[in-house]
């Protein structure tokens, strides 16, 4: 185990985060998401909730500051309703490390699937909240001169 890294961040997820470049996207998917159908690079985080992963990931990477919304969630399908507490919980997790919290948008279900196909990786979690998936876009880590 490494110091300062959320224990829910597995070695394989840590490797993926390190390999991602700026502009690459990562999907944190709920337990119902068709990850293996959409993507070859699927990691498992069974039993881990997305807000826990967001807390740990937010401490490790920058979110893309060159796009309007580096956080993307799925819109409800017509006839369904969103639980607004899911988004509140995710943004609260991110806000533990980042202020202000980056913008979040919602896109249509199949548009979200298309973005997921192009993502760097998908992490399947133990999240069971309906429409609980979130896509994050990695940004550039600022250079800090230590001289």
Residues of the binding site for substrate: 30, 109, 131-133
| Cβ(23)–Cβ(119) below 8 Å | no
User: For residues 50 and 123, what is the distance between their CA atoms, to the nearest angstrom?
Assistant: 9
CA angle at residue 60 from 7 to 113, to 5 degrees?
A: 90
Helix%, strand%, coil% for the chain, nearest 5: 30, 20, 50
Active site residue 36: no
Dihedral (C-alpha) 32, 59, 137, 146: value to the nearest 10 degrees?
A: -160
Find, among 69, 56, 82, the residue nearest to 25 by Cα. 69
The residues that are catalytic are: 22
């Amino acid at each position: 185990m490494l110091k300062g890294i959320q224990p829910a961040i597995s070695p394989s997820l840590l490797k993926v985060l390190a390999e991602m470049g700026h502009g690459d996207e990562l999907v944190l998917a709920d337990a119902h998401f068709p990850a293996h159908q959409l993507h070859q690079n699927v990691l498992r985080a069974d039993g881990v909730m997305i807000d826990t992963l967001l807390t740990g990931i937010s401490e490790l990477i920058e979110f893309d500051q060159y796009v309007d919304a580096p956080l993307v969630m799925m819109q409800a399908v017509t006839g369904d309703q969103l639980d607004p507490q899911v988004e509140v919980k995710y943004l609260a997790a991110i806000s533990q490390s980042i202020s202000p919290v980056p913008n979040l948008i919602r896109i249509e279900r199949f548009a979200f699937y298309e973005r997921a196909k192009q993502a760097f990786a998908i992490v399947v979690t133990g999240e069971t909240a309906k429409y609980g998936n979130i896509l994050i876009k990695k940004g550039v880590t600022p250079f800090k001169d230590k001289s």
